[in-house]
Structure 1
Amino acid sequence: MTGIREGRPGDLPALRAIQEVVLAEPWQELLAVAVDGPPILLVATGSETEGGNDAAPNDAAATSNGPATPVGYALAVTDGDGDAGYLAELAVAPDSQGGGLGSALVDALVERLRDAGVGELRVTVREVDERAREFYRDRGFERRDRIADHYETGDGLLLVREIGGENE
């Protein structure tokens, strides 16, 4: 069973391992702070069923053997006004990719931000990363801006998804 829950300090070693393998330019300091808040840290745990994603945003993510091991996470911050959220990192362990965990994490994050009255979610991707651009496009994000030299290895694209927060 897969679940999505709040991150906690005990998740840090597993999340760092995912971060180091998946992300080209990980932000280790933000992840370390996020396990204690206030950045939003949602963690995907467990395993996918073959039929697709059975993630439940409010799942306690515990099995009869104890808390499930993190296999992915979404880390987001909000601006000072609470009008926009920024998805700083989204990572799923390589052996858990392709089963809908990334989508489930984005959906849970959007729900959380909407409930908090946030009106849009932003993310920056590498301009040359067609896979990431397609992933976010399929989840309702639209290109807003090109950011020269955003990454050590090139330019970025700012993508935005309106999420209908209370502040609209």
Structure 2
Amino acid sequence: MIVHSFPPVADSRSKLLILGSMPGTASLRAGQYYWNPRNHMWAILYTLFGDGVPEPEYDSRIAFALRNRIALWDSIAACEREGSLDADIKDAVPNDIPGLLRQYPQIGAIVCNGNKSFAELQKHHGASPEVAERQVLKLPSTSPVPTPRYRGFPDKLEAWRVIKDLL
């Protein structure tokens, strides 16, 4: 099945771009970034920049990210994928990350949410001046799937703390 990512969330205040790979099935159905309540993204952002409790309304979450100078998008514009796993992504078509960075030149850093996001960014845009002149970090995926190094929320939160220094 061919799936498509969402438009970017960014404004003139954005200093940090968080790039996912492609929203999971639940997020695609809802039309909302990081909609799956088991995904750690919103809990991480609210712990680092708020009171630790994500607001229930999606629009409030987006406004929170933007208030904290965080933009959201995905490395992949469209791909073939059954389910939600990055490992199942085939025939990825990249988003125009350089174009977004030209539109929002104040974005000084890019944080890739997981290995696939980073790999796709580097493959398609790593040599572009818009990406190359910015700090690019690869952080562990906020997916609820544990890895040997990042078992759960506390491990991922600790790794993601670095974004506070990028703003």
Q: Which has the higher contact order (CA 8 A, sep 6+)?
A: 2
- State which structure, 1 or 2, has the greater radius of gyration over its C-alpha atoms: 1
TM-score range, shorter chain: 0.3 to 0.5
From the two aligned structures, give the one with the greater strand fraction: 1
From the two aligned structures, give the one with the greater helix fraction: 2
TM-score (norm 1): 0.36
